[in-house]
Amino acid sequence: MGNRGSPISDRDKLQALVRQAGLTRSELARLIEVSYRTVYRWLEKGVAPHPFASHRIDELFKKHVDLTPVVERLKKDLGDPIRIIRKNGLIRNRFFLEMVYHSNAIEGSRMTKKETRKAMEGKAVRGKEPFEIFEAVNHRNALLEVLSQIRRGFRITEDYILKLHAIVLYNFHDKLPGRYRTGFVNLTNTEKPLPPAQLVPVKMRALVQEINRYGRNPLAKISSDHYEFEAIHPFFDGNGRVGRLLMLTQLLSRGYPPAIIRLEDRYAYYFALGKGDMGDFKNLVQLVCEGVIRGYHLLAPLTKV
């Protein structure tokens, strides 16, 4: 495992930059702003880079190396991810916990992973507001809905999207669960204006018409679909959680492991969505691929990339 829980180590990223991107060790040293000897120690001696250097390595990796072939290989190795999640209770519970904890935390939940597990198990969680408990339980129930509906080749519909939102926002009546927003929302993570409420149904119908068409590069299509959904921002609340559930649905329906987007990825995630405002989805595709690799390790914990 790589730095800060990344499924790809810094050393693996450096090796890919040399082998696939054709960068020399001297070029890497210059780009990362370290000495040649430092790069040598990272590659040959197993020395871990400083966090700042690790960040620079990650930036170079996402700029120069395409992760989709790695994910396609893991997809073939894994088998049917839907069957694995349904049949193996231990893996299913671990997957649900990772998905609920991280997806809710990205949206501001203060629940720890231990508290999230307790809430999902119906146990008392001290010191937390009822709405925080509801968020965890609702998200778990939405995952159960995905698992009950999903199959290979599953086609997403508007009713499916609205049903997921109704579950995620159950008991949050002021947020209009299961209904599109009827007014303006302010989004702080993008400078791109959101469509007015009256255009949301039109844009969502257009999205649904295209969302089940994957083309030759499904991972790129799933990533751009996720951006489009978040750019429409069809609900008053729950857009991020529902959007990631839709990404999960798309991935599983095409035979890919689920993508686990972690709390630690939040700023990289927002940055990647922001790049989408300019029509650049490379960062988002890479982030989704890293999430899928993490999901692969979750479903096949004894197998290495």
Shared domain check, 26 and 90? no
CATH number of residue 27's parent domain: 1.10.260.40
Cβ–Cβ under 8 Å, residues 258 and 252: yes
How far, in whole angstroms, is CA 163 from its chain's centroid? 20
Instruction: Name the pLDDT band for 127 (thresholds 50, 70, 90).
Output: very high
Token readout for 165 is 């939102």
pLDDT band, very low/low/confident/very high, at 31 (cuts 50, 70, 90)? very high
201 and 116 share one domain: yes
Establish if 144 belongs to a structural domain: yes
145 and 52 fall within a common domain: no
C-alpha 45/C-alpha 54 separation (Å) is: 16
134 and 269 co-located in one domain: yes
Q: Is the pLDDT of residue 304 over 50?
A: no
Each residue's pLDDT tens digit, 37-46: 999 999 999 8
Give kind and range of the element (H or E) at residue 185. Answer: none
129 and 55 housed in the same domain: no
- Assigned domain for 223 exists: yes
Average pLDDT over residues 63-81: 90
- Predicted confidence (pLDDT) at residue 93 exceeds the cutoff of 90: yes
Instruction: For residues 118 and 204, state if they share a domain.
Output: yes
Provide the pLDDT for residue 302.
Answer: 53
- Residue after which a domain boundary falls, among 64, 88, 115: 64
What would the pLDDT profile of 246-289 be if each residue is shown by its tens digit? 999 999 999 999 999 999 999 999 999 999 999 999 999 999 99
CA 49 vs. chain centroid, Å, equals 25
70 lies in some domain:
no
Instruction: Give Cα separations from 182 to 32, 161, 194, 240 (angstroms).
Output: 48, 17, 13, 18
CA distance 208 to 156: 7
Task: Write the pLDDT tens digit of every residue in 227-250.
Answer: 999 999 999 999 999 999 999 999
Based on the domain organization, do 39 and 131 belong to the same domain?
A: no
- Same domain for 125 and 254: yes
What are the distances in angstroms from CA 74 to CA 19, 152, 157, 255? 20, 17, 28, 10
**What's the domain count of the chain?**
2
Q: Which domain holds residue 279?
A: 78-299
Residue 113 maps to a domain: yes
Q: List the CATH number of the domain containing 176.
A: 1.10.3290.10
Q: Is residue 213 assigned to a domain?
A: yes
Q: Give this prediction's pTM.
A: 0.86
The answer as to whether 146 is a domain residue is yes
41 in the same domain as 115: no
Flag whether 194 is in a domain.
Answer: yes
Q: For residue 109, with 0-12 CB atoms within 10 Å meaning exposed, 13-18 middle and 19 or more buried, which class applies?
A: buried
Chain centre to alpha carbon of residue 43: 29
Q: Which structure tokens are listed for 229?
A: 């959904």
Q: Is residue 40 part of a domain?
A: yes
DSSP state of 261: -
- The pLDDT value recorded for residue 305 is 43
- Same domain, yes or no, for 199 and 94? yes
Examine the domain organization and report whether 248 and 214 are in the same domain.
yes
Is 123 found in the same domain as 24? Answer: no
